[in-house]
Amino acid sequence: MNQSLPSTAEELFDECPRFRILTLGKAGVGKTALIKNVFKVEKLLCSDKEPGKCNIRDEIHSSENTRFVLHDCQGFEPGETDKFNKVKGFIQQRAQEPEIKDQLHAIWLCIQIPNAGDRLIEPGAVEFLKLPFGDVPVIVVFTHYDKIYKETLDKLGSSKLGTLEENQRTILVEQETEKYFRAEYADLLKQLGHSPKTLGWIKVSTRDDYQHTLNDLVQTTYKLIPNGAAESIRVALATAQRVDVDLKVVNTTRVGTSMKGYWHGLASSIPFTKKLIRECLDLIHKDIVKIWNFSDPGMILEDGDLKFMTLGLVQNLANPGTTNPDSGYLLAEGINFSRKLGDWYSGVYTNTPSTLRRLMGYIVDVTIVLEQLFWDKAAQPQKSTVSADDVEKVFGLYADSKEFVEQVHGEIQSYVDSMNLIDTSHPDSTHEEVERLIRAHRRNLTGAKKPAESPHVG
Ligand SMILES: Nc1nc2c(ncn2[C@@H]2O[C@H](COP(=O)(O)OP(=O)(O)O)[C@@H](O)[C@H]2O)c(=O)[nH]1
Ligand SMILES: [Mg+2]
């Protein structure tokens, strides 16, 4: 009997289902706001305790995003030895956990940027940073960045900024504030006496116009995960966070192409031999949707029409020269497509150029559509949950930009035409072409602003 297909995402999530973070910092510095904004949740739960009464050992979580777990601690003043030892003990205990899922994956030490003239980094924070953290990334997070941004704006005043365009003003203010933080961080490192490999810093604000600072925090954390760390930790962070679209795209391809990834065999067909096309596509579809981790309690993305609409969209890859119907037609037909596709969809996988083109097209198309959905949802934070209408809209944006789809599919056609499917003695590099296609054709059709493009003058 056939063994069932492996799900690479599921294997990674078995090893590390949740990205485990410790936030540390005085009450009011913005830890809770930070977590809610990075993971896009409204409510945090801490077993049966009242919010704010949690112990560092308690697991704080949210039903709106199950891919992260938080430990929260209010930090300590110099001389609060008991509190200090408790934090130290907790970090040590977690470092000794044998299983990756129980270890800490990142520490965010949050420090609120004080009013001008005050000292930024207190002795308590310096003491903390001298602890041995092993391989756990530790990020010093300077919070309430919007305030110093505005202060700097005022300080520079109209004499320096008046004649500049808005984006040039932004750059100038950024440069000024950056100098301040760099100096503070350099001073901190001096006090520590060394510069740990896994230490980083970042300035953030959870206010609307500063969403790009949350991207920076996620990217900084991601990059500080050591090279030798398990792949599943990186994938857990990329999945859990809901601010950085690049990490979603990179990790969609990363899961498919990781050591055990089945994309390696897309052309040489090894993992798919004797499987039904339907099974192969279900697996690909589920894996991609899981990494994007939209707020989708109704499982609209996994179980809804997206799969069949995308199948409809890749039909012209089966019969070169044919054109695709409009998205309205694909949508109206929905599930009927599986019947119309008949033999191919419900049949056994065969190693043919036509099948390879359709599988490649499926991965690329669905990833591009999900990126549109990301932008669409980012532009309407008050409606964070995915609806069937959202999917219809973003699918339509892609499917109906016909020249764009033709370009993508044309490149797939050329790639498959130029390869020799019979020759499986060479390693199959189709996954590289899939990655290239996604990278080359990503674009934002929704018109929603990228966080990094937002002016942060408020
Ligand atoms: N100006 C500004 N206020 C913030 C920011 N982040 C949080 N706050 C405010 O600071 C207060 C404390 O935030 P909270 O997240 O509860 O802090 P926590 O005690 O560290 O968890 C709240 O009134 C937030 O609205 C920020 O980036 N900028
Ligand atoms: Mg809090």
Q: DSSP assignment of 224-286, as one string?
A: HS-TTS-HHHHHHHHHH-SS-HHHHHHHHHHHHHSTT-GGGGTTT-GGGTT-BHHHHHHHHHH
Residue 198 near residue 108 (C-beta atoms within 8 A): no
Among the candidates 196, 229, 262, a domain finishes at: 229
Q: How far is the CA of 43 from the centre of ligand 2 (A)?
A: 12
Domain residues for the domain of 414 are 250-450
DSSP type of residue 379? T
* pLDDT at residue 101, rounded to an integer: 97
Residue 394 near residue 372 (C-beta atoms within 8 A): yes
Q: How far is the CA of 31 from the centre of ligand 2 (A)?
A: 5
- Please compute the mean of the pLDDT values over residues 195-221 and round it to a whole number: 91
Q: Show the ligand 1 pocket: residues with CB < 6 angstroms.
A: 25, 27-33, 143-144, 146-147, 205-207
Q: How far is the CA of 39 from the centre of ligand 2 (A)?
A: 15
135 and 181 within one domain: yes
Q: How far is the CA of 448 from the centre of ligand 1 (A)?
A: 26
Residue 236 within any structural domain of the chain: no
Residue 243 within any structural domain of the chain: no
Integer CA distances (angstroms), 10 to 2, 144, 232, 305, 402, in order: 19, 37, 10, 22, 34
pLDDT in tens, 371-401: 999 999 988 888 889 999 999 999 999 999 9
The token pair that represents 44 in the structure block: 């945090």
- Which has more pLDDT, 151 or 216? 216
Residue nearest to atom 23 of ligand 1 (CA): 28
Which ligand is nearest the CA of 111, by number? 1
Q: How far is the CA of 48 from the centre of ligand 1 (A)?
A: 24
**Chain centre to alpha carbon of residue 416:** 30
442 and 299 within one domain: yes
Q: How far is the CA of 21 from the centre of ligand 1 (A)?
A: 18
Residue 356 within any structural domain of the chain: yes
DSSP type of residue 276? B
269 and 145 within one domain: no
Indicate the pLDDT class of residue 352, thresholds 50, 70 and 90.
Answer: confident
259 and 144 within one domain: no
143 and 276 within one domain: no
Question: Which residues lie closer than 8 Å to 134 by C-beta, 6 or more apart?
Answer: 95
Which ligand is nearest the CA of 208, by number? 1
- Please compute the mean of the pLDDT values over residues 294-300 and round it to a whole number: 95
* pLDDT at residue 457, rounded to an integer: 43
Q: How far is the CA of 111 from the centre of ligand 1 (A)?
A: 11
Mean pLDDT, the chain, rounded, equals: 84
- Please compute the mean of the pLDDT values over residues 233-248 and round it to a whole number: 94
Indicate the pLDDT class of residue 84, thresholds 50, 70 and 90.
Answer: confident
Q: Which atom of ligand 1 is least distant from the CA of 29?
A: 20
User: Counting every residue, how long is the chain?
Assistant: 458
199 — phi, psi (to 5°)? -105, 135
Which ligand is nearest the CA of 46, by number? 2
Indicate the pLDDT class of residue 79, thresholds 50, 70 and 90.
Answer: confident
DSSP type of residue 266? T
Indicate the pLDDT class of residue 362, thresholds 50, 70 and 90.
Answer: very high
Residue nearest to atom 12 of ligand 1 (CA): 28
What is the side-by-side strand order in the sheet with 60-61? 45-46, 60-61, 68-73, 19-24, 106-112, 138-143, 199-203
Residue nearest to atom 5 of ligand 1 (CA): 144
CA pair distance 6, 10, nearest whole angstrom: 8
- Please compute the mean of the pLDDT values over residues 123-139 and round it to a whole number: 88
State which of 141, 206, 207, 208 you would mutate to test the pocket of ligand 1, scoring each by most atoms of that ligand within 8 A of its C-beta: 206
Q: Which atom of ligand 1 is least distant from the CA of 205?
A: 27
Residue nearest to atom 7 of ligand 1 (CA): 30
For residue 259, pLDDT beyond 50? no
For residue 64, pLDDT beyond 90? yes
- Please compute the mean of the pLDDT values over residues 270-290 and round it to a whole number: 83
pLDDT in tens, 171-205: 888 888 888 888 888 888 888 887 777 899 999 99
Question: Which amino acid appears at position 136 of this protein?
Answer: V
321 and 426 within one domain: yes
* pLDDT at residue 110, rounded to an integer: 94
Residue 220 near residue 200 (C-beta atoms within 8 A): yes
Among the candidates 194, 229, 264, a domain finishes at: 229
Residue recorded with tokens 């309205």: 328
196 and 262 within one domain: no
162 and 64 within one domain: yes
Residue 10 within any structural domain of the chain: no
State which of 207, 211, 212, 216 you would mutate to test the pocket of ligand 1, scoring each by most atoms of that ligand within 8 A of its C-beta: 207
264 and 141 within one domain: no
Which ligand is nearest the CA of 54, by number? 2
Q: How far is the CA of 200 from the centre of ligand 2 (A)?
A: 22
* pLDDT at residue 331, rounded to an integer: 73
423 and 282 within one domain: yes
Out of 171-180, 262-271, 293-302, which region has the weakest mean confidence (pLDDT)? Answer: 262-271
- Please compute the mean of the pLDDT values over residues 401-420 and round it to a whole number: 89
Residue 90 within any structural domain of the chain: yes
Out of 22-26, 96-100, 307-311, which region has the weakest mean confidence (pLDDT)? Answer: 307-311
133 and 57 within one domain: yes
Q: Which atom of ligand 1 is least distant from the CA of 36?
A: 15
Residue nearest to atom 9 of ligand 1 (CA): 30
For residue 21, pLDDT beyond 90? yes
Residue 52 within any structural domain of the chain: yes
Which ligand is nearest the CA of 33, by number? 1
CA pair distance 225, 233, nearest whole angstrom: 8
Name the domain count of the chain. 2
282 and 191 within one domain: no
184 — phi, psi (to 5°)? -65, -40
Buried b (16+ CB within 10 A) or exposed e, 246-285: ebbbbbbbbbbbbeebbbbbbbbbebbeebbbbebbebbb
75 — phi, psi (to 5°)? 75, -175
Q: Which atom of ligand 1 is least distant from the CA of 25?
A: 20
Residue 245 within any structural domain of the chain: no
Which ligand is nearest the CA of 26, by number? 1
Q: Rounded to 5, what percent of the chain is helix, strand, coil? A: 55, 10, 35
- Which has more pLDDT, 443 or 148? 148
The token pair that represents 387 in the structure block: 């609806």
Among the candidates 168, 196, 229, a domain finishes at: 229
Q: How far is the CA of 34 from the centre of ligand 1 (A)?
A: 8
What's the CATH code of the domain at 59? 3.40.50.300
Out of 40-44, 273-277, 438-442, which region has the weakest mean confidence (pLDDT)? Answer: 273-277
CA pair distance 137, 391, nearest whole angstrom: 36
Please report the sign of the dihedral spanned by the C-alpha atoms of residue 333, residue 334, residue 335, residue 337: positive
Q: How far is the CA of 28 from the centre of ligand 1 (A)?
A: 6
* pLDDT at residue 447, rounded to an integer: 73
Out of 90-104, 105-119, 365-379, which region has the weakest mean confidence (pLDDT)? Answer: 105-119
Residue 235 within any structural domain of the chain: no
Q: Which atom of ligand 1 is least distant from the CA of 23?
A: 20
